[in-house]
Structure 1
Amino acid sequence: MRLIQITDCHLHADPEARSRVGFPLRQLQAVIEHARRQRPDILLVTGDVSEDETPLSYRHAVEAFSSLECPWFWLPGNHDLPQCMAEQREILDDIDLGDWRLLVLDTQVSGQPHGELGQAQLQTLAERLEEDDKPTLLAMHHPPVEVGSVWMDAIGLQDREALWQTLAAYGQVRAILFGHIHQAFASRHSLQEGEVAVYGCPSTTDQFLAGSPEFAIDEASRPGYRVIDLKGKTLTTWVERVNL
């Protein structure tokens, strides 16, 4: 099973709209074409699909994602309108990956850049993990750990400690995939039942400068995506960058 993660497309209704240093729709299309070579079984989009929150921006996204010709799933980021997304494509919270399971979490706090899961969603997560002990991936938009940038850590997942407390009893959770940070990231979080791998993903548009205390664009970096291979109980992952 090969899963491709893309994130933070920040599309506009205008297909020729610019970002800070590029053209979001053109860059997304280039990433999709590059990802096609990987022969993915599933595409996962981890939020901030739109920049201007317009129905047309989501239609551009649906057309691009569907061109990959594999099943695809998405979740909202802090820039998104979930209702507008759902009108285009259902937002699922439990995805069968064969030997693995993918649980999707909504970290959006309406009108705010930071994320939060909330006690009700954490309780539901625990109940879902009680149901099945097969290897599990979690997907969300906001990072559940600090990533080493003061400004970004301030707008990460605010109740991350509550998440880790919830996961402490469930050793089947092997990895968490997230977006939001516009850069590659890999870490591990130790729990009583074992380690959980934590992976961030480059944006399909502008990249943020890793380790910067203040907001900064990494103009030397390129758009990219993450490849996740699931074979038996083994997860292998890497990041691909795309020349424009």
Structure 2
Amino acid sequence: MRLVQVTDCHLHADPEARSRAGVPLRQLHRVLEHARRLRPDLLLVTGDVSQDETPASYRHAAEAFSAMECPWFWLPGNHDHGDFMTETRDFHDELDLGAWRLLMLDTRVLGRPHGELGAERLADLADSLTLDERPTLVAMHHPPLAIGSAWMDAIGLADGEAFWETLAPHPQVKAVLCGHIHQAFVGARRLPEGEVAVYGTPATTDQFLGGSPEFAIDQASRPGYRVIDLDGERLTTWVERVDL
């Protein structure tokens, strides 16, 4: 099975609205056109779909995602309006990928840039993991560990340690897929039952400068997406960049 992850589209109601480094909707179309050639079985969208939180921005997104000709699913980021999203497309807590499963977590804290799961969502996560021992992917918007960029680490997942404590008894969790950071990233967390990989993905719009202590755009980098291939219990993943 092949998954494609896109993230941080930051669309506006105005399809010609600009970001700092381009036109987000145009860039999303280019990224998806490139990704479609790889014939994914599923498209995963990990938040910050909208910049202006308008119904029209989500309609633009849904039209673009539907052109992928495969099932697509999304979760919200800190810039998103959850009600407007679900008016367009429902959220899902879990996806059945056959030999694998994908758990989708909402890390939003309304009105704040950082993320948090909270005790109730963590308890639900623990219950879900107890019920099914298939190899598992976890998708969320905010990264659950530091990426080495001070300003971004300050607005990551605030209860990251509690998240890792929740995963600790469940070795079936193989990887976390996140958005928010607008850059490619590979990290890992060693737990008592094994290591869990953490993968960050380039935005379809502006890229952030990796390792920068303050907010900075990476003018030299290009939009992109992540490919995740699942073959039996084996996971292979890489990032594709797209010329504009």
1:42 aligns with: 42
Which structure 2 residues correspond to residues 197-208 of structure 1 after superposition, within 5 A? 197-208=197-208
Query: Structure 1: how far apart are the matches of 2:108 and 2:137?
Result: 19
Letter in 2 for 1:35: A
- Local SS of the residue matching 1:74: strand
- Local SS of the residue matching 2:146: coil
1:90 aligns with: 90
Query: Structure 1: how far apart are the matches of 2:49 and 2:117?
Result: 19
- Local SS of the residue matching 1:33: helix
1:141 aligns with: 141
Letter in 2 for 1:59: R
- Local SS of the residue matching 2:225: strand
Letter in 2 for 1:210: G
Q: 1:188: how far off?
A: 1.2
How big is each residue's C-alpha offset from its partner over 1:148-191, in whole Å with a ceiling of 9 and x where there is no partner?
00000000000000000010000000000000000000011100
2:157 aligns with: 157
2:124 aligns with: 124
- Local SS of the residue matching 1:63: helix
After TM superposition, the score normalised by the length of structure 2 is 1.00
2:183 aligns with: 183
- Local SS of the residue matching 1:215: coil
Query: Structure 2: how far apart are the matches of 1:105 and 1:143?
Result: 12
Q: 1:50: how far off?
A: 0.2
- Local SS of the residue matching 1:129: helix
2:23 aligns with: 23
Structure 1: runs of 5+ lacking an equivalent: none
- Local SS of the residue matching 1:177: strand
User: Which runs of at least 4 in structure 1 moved beyond 3 Å after TM superposition?
Assistant: none
Query: Structure 2: how far apart are the matches of 1:184 and 1:221?
Result: 10
2:128 is aligned with 1:114: no
After TM superposition, the score normalised by the length of structure 1 is 1.00
1:61 aligns with: 61
- Local SS of the residue matching 1:240: strand
Query: Structure 1: how far apart are the matches of 2:207 and 2:176?
Result: 20
2:175 is aligned with 1:167: no
Query: Structure 2: how far apart are the matches of 1:92 and 1:139?
Result: 11
Query: Structure 1: how far apart are the matches of 2:70 and 2:161?
Result: 35
Structure 2: runs of 5+ lacking an equivalent: none
1:9 aligns with: 9
2:100 aligns with: 100
Query: Structure 2: how far apart are the matches of 1:132 and 1:13?
Result: 41
RMSD after superposition: 0.3
1:210 aligns with: 210
- Local SS of the residue matching 1:235: strand
Letter in 1 for 2:198: V
Query: Structure 2: how far apart are the matches of 1:56 and 1:17?
Result: 13
2:231 aligns with: 231
